[in-house]
Structure 1
């Protein structure tokens, strides 16, 4: 037991250092938000059996996407937008899991082991009813006083993927080795909750200690269009392509709609309901390492994410499902009418032959 305590402390320190790249969040000046994306609603349609989670966008070609300008998170002005292009966000669900694809143009940049010199993405969802987009939940408490009691209702759920140790096309996120926290020691695809930018923790960790029931429910992979080896990379292939090549980054993720969360650290999704959502992007502009608060986002406020039920899914022209059902009902009704008319006709013919003498058939 005496040996276990220092080992446990070392583990917590290691996880803290692993999570450190996104702990910096400094804001100056008065916050203002005039979102051009107001009214935009992201639809997660019911499309079972469509997506394979490998970072490749091919199986998303028939899924509609939503394009967003990437503006600085702390000072969202069009003049300072990400110069590489817009981010396209796609979403769907299969009744059990939700899937996301983020794609954004950018020259290939990869520095093995240095996440801040590689692109990075995050998804954020509202958990608590009072959780604001701005200030990642908006709890007014300081880092030393945040607790799950005085910040209750301000929880947000964050998935963050730093690709500095992630091989393109390989799956990262929840794994058995890291069970008990939201960390991912292999690819840094971590599961996080937050009350504000300075009170942010891996699932399972927090100011009141740890619990061993948390888990990282996210899985994901990444790819870049300049990569020309589709049979699969290994770690020794790094940096996988030449830096500076033009192309598009693809980040693909999935998570169960509902998780085994006992501590208000995961957003829970329900088919037919709408959740609040946002996405962020970090990029080493001009080769300079990015810092935690130097990220771009798709909007300066929450975006609605609508989980469409299977019965509401529209295909083709948008009316195929309903039209097929109506046609089947009409055909069944027609058959019923025809059968009824035939029975009336047969009954009429039988009644007309009642005057015909009955002749008993002799036994053979």
Structure 2
């Protein structure tokens, strides 16, 4: 059962990530493009709804074909908004893009699909998904060392809106980054031809059973009229062609227990490099693997903010003086309380004694 499942997943990823470039690669990326992940603890509920993101600023990107990033090939639904926050433990992402509702249960390439990609190795390029020049039969963690990229891919064809998918006990027990329920999978790659579920790899590579899917996520569309939750029997959940907005919401721990260089590790106060891919069935036609859109033709920096409560701030003289006065007053009260305590203890253990006078002496 599991080998067949793995084969199906591999074929799915091959359709999703195949790159078939027809000419030389060119990229004109703006240096000002970046994503900010602010420190906002206790704000986000991972349910696919965007209400709790309304006060969080986002970055807006034109969606251009990944293999031909020319403005004339921009996605006609509009720009994609990318938002991110973290709570000191987990990092959260919201992807928001306008698009007519398109859903076909069980047919992933007739539904929208998204992916996040992050640089792991110092030499990993956005172009060619890590950029290792080895082929399928020769790429290993040694021959492609330094070209690792981390990928999260969500194909919603089997995912109920508003429900959580991603890491689950069944697949994590098997030590891989798969998701047999909703196809929100955790992968790594060295190039488009050498990509694997976390915990799997080339036949001669050494893996261990500690790998798992660290991502969780949900999706939603603004045309839905039911907000209490869907079940699978209600598919396709809305009428195809309805105008609206897609929302994809994800989370992952900032740090994972990856031992194999297959997960990006985020650092508070640090910066990483990321990209976002988007597939959409234009005019109802199934999308093909290399036909995805991207938010940029190169890596987009993502800054993990320390947050105001975590940053070191300068002390102004006024606040310092106020603090000194308060400290002196507190010290006086403490000394007074100590004196009272000593006096009370003395009276308890050394009471005033009254001399005894016999009756006959009165």
The residue aligned with 1:283 is 280
Q: State the secondary structure of the residue aligned to 1:109.
A: coil
Q: Distance in 1 between matches of 2:141 and 2:290?
A: 24
* TM-aligned CA distance change 1:239 to 1:185, over 3 Å: same
Higher mean C-alpha displacement, 245-254 vs 329-338:
329-338
* TM-aligned CA distance change 1:338 to 1:190, over 3 Å: closer
Q: Distance in 2 between matches of 1:59 and 1:277?
A: 23
TM-score by length of 1: 0.85
Once superposed, what is the RMSD of the aligned Cα atoms? 2.4
The residue aligned with 1:304 is 301
Task: Give the counterpart of 1:265 among 262, 266, 270.
Answer: 262
Q: State the secondary structure of the residue aligned to 2:196.
A: strand
Q: How many residues of Structure 1 are paired with residues of Structure 2 in the alignment?
A: 329
Task: Give the counterpart of 1:27 among 3, 21, 28.
Answer: 21
The residue aligned with 1:15 is 9
1:175 corresponds to 2:199: no
Task: Give the counterpart of 1:295 among 268, 292, 295.
Answer: 292
Q: Distance in 2 between matches of 1:327 and 1:165?
A: 60
1:218 corresponds to 2:211: no
Higher mean C-alpha displacement, 17-26 vs 187-196:
17-26
Q: State the secondary structure of the residue aligned to 1:13.
A: helix
TM-superposed CA distance for 1:256, in Å, is 0.4
Task: Give the counterpart of 1:332 among 315, 323, 330.
Answer: 323
Contact 1:279/1:297, CA 8 A, preserved across alignment: yes
1:1-364 to structure 2, matched below 5 A, reads: 9-35=3-29, 37-179=30-172, 180-208=175-203, 211-311=208-308, 329-335=320-326
Higher mean C-alpha displacement, 16-25 vs 65-74:
16-25
TM-superposed CA distance for 1:310, in Å, is 2.9
TM-superposed CA distance for 1:145, in Å, is 1.2
TM-superposed CA distance for 1:333, in Å, is 3.2
TM-superposed CA distance for 1:330, in Å, is 4.6
Q: List runs of 5+ in structure 2 lacking aligned partners.
A: 332-362
Contact 1:21/1:116, CA 8 A, preserved across alignment: no
